[in-house]
Amino acid sequence: MSCYEEVAVTVPSSSFNAEADKSLLAKIISTPPLAVDRKAVKWAWRGIASQLNSSLGTNFSFRSCRDRAGLLLRMYAVRKRRNEATSGTSEVLTDDDDVLEQLMRLEDNAIIRVQTQKAATASKTQELETMGQRLMQAAEKRVAMRIDITEGYKSSKPKRHRLSTLLDKEQEKAAARRNLEAQKVQRHREEL
């Protein structure tokens, strides 16, 4: 091997074991990634992975930490449902069950928080749409009153026209005025 050949540095892969799982769950509880905004979740998991790697001397990526935490939660949920389904038997609890239960509560709270934020945003959007519709109706009424006044109608309740219809009428009137102007110009040229 010559001195000019590059040697690819390989990073030894790490696999999760009981100690790594415990440390991972402790790091997740100390910095819950589910409580942060959606844009910051990736950075929260990166922080958890770097803390885990520095404490254990491993090389876990943030994705592997996130996936492992999800797997542990799913396995706990299945085990919990199975234990609840079998009545009359005592539950087999592991050391991590309390932490996993706490993580499940945090996950449920995060889901509820996201749903309430979505509902608040939807209601705000609906409120703005309703407000926009009210403004449009008020504008249509004002335009209808102006049309009634210019056309000489004296009705107690003016007919409300859609703005698109009013714009079409305005364009037709403008086209008619242009035609009249063109005819006047043509007559004026003929006279000269």
- Which domain, by its residues, includes 43? 18-85+94-127
Evaluate whether residue 136 is within a structural domain. Answer: no
pLDDT of residue 180: 92
Evaluate whether residue 173 is within a structural domain. Answer: no
Evaluate whether residue 101 is within a structural domain. Answer: yes
Percent of the chain surpassing pLDDT 70:
81
Least confident of 27-41, 55-69, 101-115, 145-159: 145-159
Q: Answer whether residue 181 shows pLDDT above 90.
A: yes
- Cβ count within 10 A of residue 80: 15
pLDDT of residue 115: 85
Distance CA 175, CA 6 (A): 78
Specify the number of domains making up the chain. Answer: 1
User: Is the Cβ–Cβ distance between 62 and 45 less than 8 Å?
Assistant: yes
Evaluate whether residue 189 is within a structural domain. Answer: no
* Mean pLDDT, rounded, for 88-114: 77
Burial bucket for residue 126 (CB in 10 Å: 0-12, 13-18, 19+): exposed
User: Is the Cβ–Cβ distance between 44 and 30 less than 8 Å?
Assistant: no
Evaluate whether residue 155 is within a structural domain. Answer: no
Evaluate whether residue 175 is within a structural domain. Answer: no
Q: Answer whether residue 4 shows pLDDT above 80.
A: no
pLDDT of residue 5: 57
* Mean pLDDT, rounded, for 106-131: 81
pLDDT in tens, 8-67: 555 556 788 888 888 888 888 888 777 777 778 888 889 999 999 998 888 889 899 989
pLDDT of residue 92: 63
Distance CA 31, CA 48 (A): 7
Evaluate whether residue 6 is within a structural domain. Answer: no
Greater model confidence, 64 or 140: 64
The residues near 187 (Cβ < 8 Å, ≥ 6 apart) are none
Distance CA 36, CA 107 (A): 11
Evaluate whether residue 151 is within a structural domain. Answer: no
